[in-house]
Amino acid sequence: MPQRSLRDPGARHAGTGFAFLGAHTGATVWAIVAGMSDTTTISVEAQGHVLLIGLDRAHKKNAFTVQMLRELSEAYTRLQSDDSLWCGYVYAHGGSFTAGLDLAEVGPRVASGDQLFPESGVDPLDLRPPRRTKPVVMAVQGYCFTIGIELLLAADIRVAASDTIFAQMEVARGIMPFGGATLRFPAVCGWGNAMRWMLTGERFDAAEALRMGLVQETVPPAELFERGLALTALVADQAPLAVQATRHNSRVAAELGPGHAKEQLMDAARSLFASEDAREGVMSFVERRRARFKGQ
């Protein structure tokens, strides 16, 4: 497969506001994408148990084309299907996370009923099966418009640079959000907060996003990438089966109600107690050492 080094200045757009992984580790790190070409719009990088997924159409403020949506689905599918990957980290090259959908291209496809994601692939918006079971941390900066907010709402831990500008502005274009905002924005941020921003289409800042719970942390722009990566690494250091079970039971409670989650709770807990990772967790506590989990 073709490879490009993250140390190569030509491999990344200028003005990202953060150093990339090769600089963090002092090692040569490679972005490997099957069939990579000059038009690749999503970078994919594996580091240990973490899969880094970068929106890479910075010259267009990462506005989503159909190709970009499909490549993002392919990256999420890799995260889901590879047992060695335990957590995903989604971020953006360039100054903005995304200016939203490239409506001139995507709009007609939606109107005609075309699928935006491969049917067999994981939907990054988490609206249809196959659904992701592994956690995703997401870091945003600059513009985070429309689908950017919807991707955030589908993620598990969300961090924003202090300069981020958000907008769910579909109503100003004569359409409505169709990537999950109508489902999750009210649930995550409260009805009034969601309606305030979805029905007016106005922009809001990172402080408001933090106040509403749309993001969990805000950081200076220069610290965004490293903070998001650090949170991802913290998740990936935990027992992956336990992380996935915790996320799943919480998701069931959020989507189907606490009663459904309660019915599944003890069976899930008993299954984990029988795992090799649970035995390793106990032994590491007794021996006062760091646990070495295997996902078994």
pLDDT of residue 9: 29
Q: Given 3-state DSSP classes, what are the helix, strand and coil percentages for the chain, each rounded to the nearest 5?
A: 45, 15, 40
pLDDT of residue 271: 94
Amino acid occupying residue 278: A
Q: Which of 236, 257, 278 is the last residue of a domain?
A: 236
Same domain, 7 and 77: yes
pLDDT of residue 38: 54
Cβ atoms 20, 45 nearer than 8 A = no
Cβ burial of 223 (10 Å; 0-12, 13-18, 19+) is middle
The CA–CA distances, whole Å, from 221 to 17, 23, 52, 153, 287 equal 7, 17, 18, 21, 40
Cβ atoms 48, 97 nearer than 8 A = no
Same domain, 281 and 199: no
Cα–Cα distance, 123 to 129 (Å, whole number): 7
Is 82 domain-assigned?
yes
What angle do helix axes 191-198 and 181-189 make, rounded to 10 degrees? 130
pLDDT of residue 12: 44
pLDDT of residue 283: 84
Same domain, 198 and 216: yes
Domain with 258, as residue range(s), is: 240-286
Same domain, 257 and 204: no
The CA–CA distances, whole Å, from 107 to 103, 197, 254 equal 5, 22, 31
Is 294 domain-assigned?
no
Same domain, 98 and 227: yes
Looking up tokens 């990172």 gives 206
Q: Name the pairing type of β-strands 157-161 and 136-140.
A: parallel
Amino acid occupying residue 120: S
pLDDT of residue 113: 82
Q: Looking at the 3D structure of the chain, how many domains does it have?
A: 2
DSSP-derived 3-state class of residue 256:
helix
Same domain, 159 and 106: yes
Same domain, 66 and 172: yes
pLDDT of residue 135: 98
Same domain, 44 and 83: yes
CATH number of domain containing 279: 1.10.12.10
Same domain, 267 and 187: no
CATH number of domain containing 103: 3.90.226.10
Short-list 254, 249, 290, CA closest to 266? 249
pLDDT of residue 147: 97
pLDDT of residue 176: 96
- Per-residue model confidence as pLDDT tens digits over 244-283: 999 999 999 999 999 999 999 999 999 999 999 988 888 8
Segments of the chain assigned E as strands? 3-5, 30-32, 42-47, 50-55, 87-92, 136-140, 143-145, 157-161, 165-167, 203-205, 217-219
Same domain, 161 and 47: yes
- Per-residue model confidence as pLDDT tens digits over 192-216: 999 999 999 999 999 999 999 999 9
- Per-residue model confidence as pLDDT tens digits over 178-187: 999 999 999 9
Token duo for residue 115: 């699928």
- Tens-level pLDDT at each residue, the chain (296 residues): 333 333 232 334 333 333 333 333 333 333 333 334 457 999 999 999 999 999 999 999 999 999 999 999 999 999 999 999 999 999 999 999 999 999 888 888 888 888 888 889 999 999 999 999 999 999 999 999 999 999 999 999 999 999 999 999 999 999 999 999 999 999 999 999 999 999 999 999 999 999 999 999 999 999 999 999 999 999 999 999 999 999 999 999 999 999 999 999 999 999 999 999 988 888 888 888 888 898 88
Same domain, 228 and 244: no
Looking up tokens 């240990």 gives 48
Cα–Cα distance, 295 to 203 (Å, whole number): 42
